[in-house]
Chains A and B, each alone.
Chain A
Amino acid sequence: MTDQAERRAGARSQPPQQATPIWRDPRTRAIIWQVLILGGIIALAAYLVHNTLVNLEARSIRTGFGFFEQEAGFAIGESTFIDYRASDSYGKAFAVGLLNTLRVSLIGIVLATLIGVVMGIARLSSNWLVAKLASVYVEVMRNIPLLLQLFFWYGAISFLLPAVRDALNLMPGVFLSKAGLQYAVPVGHPVHPWMGLAFLAGIGGCVLYYRWAKKRQAETGVEPRLGLPLTGILVGLPGLVWLIGGAPVAMNVPEFGTFNYQGGASVTPEFLALLLGLTFYTAGFLAEIVRAGILAVPHGQTEAASAIGLRRGQVLRLVLLPQALRIIVPPTTSQYLNLTKNSSLAVAIGYPDLVSVANTSLNQTGQAIECISIMMACYLTISLTISFFMNWYNRRIALVER
């Protein structure tokens, strides 16, 4: 479009007696417009900054991030990895909030993907009942605001569930009550870090085995089995280390003490409500994406793949998935981003995520600009990181056209 306009302008200015007036030259006009718009924006920004400075002066608020070092003075209900106390600084409180946001988002993404894939496939099931149930799920979840769902889950957990002393015993060692979810964890044992190492070694072993299998297939034309040996290496190595370490089976089971459960691990009702809401809501959208992606691969692809003698697993792995993923990945990325951003609704039910910590700090210090900028900067960073990673993955699986 630009080249055309320029060429036209150039062609018209060729005869010297009919030179284009300067205000009709598209290039000059573009520059004038941009200068005007930029000037307008700068003027507006200057005006707002001026007002802000006057207002801050009037309210005697000092700007700057100096308050980060001050004592926060408020407790945070739950914190992962960081040991936080009310006497710690605001900076540390923000870090706890950010980690809480990341924790609920990561777990939410994993669970939502699992449910979403299952529901998406179920909607395409040849089983009429299963397909209908899945579409009821999708239509209900997608068409009710997330905040309403969060309030519902939180209300249900904190009001309808039994009190701590009569907690529902879902499975041996798992208790659900108004106080959240309490569950048993293995007692710490020196063999656990070694099992982790063995798992990492197992991943390395899988890569080696896969390379060997490819080479063998290239030489002999017979593809060695993949599924069983790979699972065996991944599960077997840590299992072996566990056996060598004396096979410790001691579990730290939550026991009901005087007022509450002692021992084991626990999840607060706020976290549980947020996780349930985010997972079920996002899974509804993911199910539709998965369904659309699978439907977009023509049936002829399956038939052709079977006709050239691929096994069922190979058809799925080599023909269907690569084509479906290409359609599924970009919208899935934006759903992951949405889930992360939606985790900010935590503030409504009192889960101490980034927004909630920023909100409390803002109310205590009055440093609105700093607190909100920090919050926005964190979300921007998370968003850009996720989209960078997913774009990289998307480029890797994109169709290479010649």
Chain B
Amino acid sequence: MTDPTTGMSNPEPQAARKPPASSVGVLGWLRGNLFNGWFNSLLTILALYLLWQVVPPLFNWLFFDAIWANVPAEVCRENREGACWAFIRERYRLILFGTYPFDQQWRPLVGVLMLLAVIGFSCFRRFWRPWLGLVWLGALAIYLTLLGGGVFGLTPVRSDLWGGLPLTLLLAVVGIVVAFPLSLLLALGRRAENMPIVKAICVGYIELIRGVPLISLLFMASFMLPLFMPTGVTIDALIRAQVAIIVFVSSYLSEVIRGGLQALPRGQYEGAQAMGLTYWQMQRKIILPQAIKISIPPIVNTYLGMFKDTSLVAIVSLTDLLLATRQSFADPEWRQFFVEGYVFIACIYWSFCFFMSKYSQHLERALSTGHKT
């Protein structure tokens, strides 16, 4: 059968052939993603070699050769192959709760669980209502009552005995709650063009704080703040560190919020003014809701940084999660198992931070409605 115009044979239509076996399935994926080209093949082989060198010994140390049973330190010292999780079993309450009175440790535990519940609750956008702020303040009040005691028949516990994870969370949560309104004011102040003095004060504050390390602020809070107070007034070490953290975070946070404010089109300001709103009405009803919405993902990132930075209070001798861990292997018997301790709290820090960074990425996608600029 020949086509009269082209003179070529016109075969019967055939079913499409399957792609070659080397481009589909596991083989195809391997070819496409690991062995496309000599350079990638070389990289794959190198990476596999590296994994083979690192992963099996690591897993052996972490799991298979590790001691999980509750045994004394001597047994652990004899097992040189694997990790000694007996150390964590022995000391986990010291690591998690620091020097908090042993028989009262259910209080920080309840408090931490409640805070985690409130944090989880706040992650849902449908609860982003004004009353959420009140929920946070209430949760914080209950938390402080639980830790401090003195009322409802709870034994009073001095704040210098608070420690471990509850202290880390306290520093972070109070930092979040207090630094936010402060940084709003700073951001608005920095953009107040008709008040040059206020603007200069805000710029000076923000740039000064952002230019120095947090540790210098912590030193300032522990050595200079007592000098600033009238004679006879002493401030609790915890409050001093908390003030330093709030001061530090608020300057970074205000720059994030300023970014959101700058991203709003001018028309929003002009429209609000045309409707005759006052400055605060305009900010509250028109500007801030939009500006904060834009800057929520970087705000979460700033909080993530702050959560990690709370570990610096260990340098000024507050028994947070990090310092409590260091104290847990202070006695020579367990001295050599510091790696296990660090791995344990690294997992705690990592879970919090990883969750926050994933959540901020999720928000970035969920909130992007094309409103920027």
Q: Which residues of A contact B (CB under 8 A)?
A: 1-2, 4-5, 8, 26-27, 30, 33-34, 37-38, 41, 48, 51-52, 54-56, 58, 125-130, 133, 139-140, 142-148, 151-152, 155-156, 159-160, 341-342, 344-345, 347-348, 355, 358-359, 362, 368-369, 372, 375-376, 379-380, 383-384
Contact = CB atoms under 8 A, between A and B. Distances in A.
Contact of A144 (B219, B220, B224, B346): B346
B253 interface: no
B23 interface: no
B349 interface: yes
Residue from B216, B311, B326 having most chain A Cβ neighbours under 10 A: B216
Contacts of B215: 344-345, 347, 355
Contacts, number: 162
A355 B219 CA distance: 9
11 contacts: A26-B194, A34-B195, A55-B226, A56-B227, A126-B40, A143-B357, A145-B349, A151-B326, A152-B342, A375-B212, A380-B211
A193 to B, nearest CB: 38
B228 to A, nearest CB: 4
Contacts of B223: 362, 368, 372
Nearest to B197: A34
A143 B349 contact: yes
A26 B339 CA distance: 62
Interface in B301-344: 308-309, 311-312, 314-315, 322, 326, 336, 338-339, 342
Contact of B339 (A34, A156, A347, A383): A156
Interface in B189-227: 193-198, 201, 208, 210-216, 219-220, 223-224, 226-227
Interface stretch (B43-51, B98-106, B148-156): B43-51
A55 B234 CA distance: 12
Contact of A1 (B43, B193, B224, B308): B193
B6 interface: no
Contact of A355 (B213, B227, B322, B350): B213
A151 B342 contact: yes
B211 A148 contact: no
B195 A379 contact: no
A170 to B, nearest CB: 16
A54 B227 CA distance: 9
B34 interface: yes
Interface of B: 33-34, 36, 40, 43-44, 47-48, 50-51, 193-198, 201, 208, 210-216, 219-220, 223-224, 226-231, 269-270, 273, 308-309, 311-312, 314-315, 322, 326, 336, 338-339, 342, 345-346, 349-350, 353-354, 357
Given A159-B336, A344-B216, A355-B215, 14 more contacts: A5-B273, A34-B196, A34-B198, A41-B201, A130-B44, A143-B353, A144-B353, A145-B311, A148-B345, A159-B338, A348-B314, A362-B219, A379-B212, A383-B211
A342 B197 contact: no
B89 to A, nearest CB: 21
A26 B282 CA distance: 15
A400 B368 CA distance: 28
B336 A54 contact: no
B195 A125 contact: no
B212 A376 contact: yes
B34 A127 contact: yes
A155 to B, nearest CB: 5
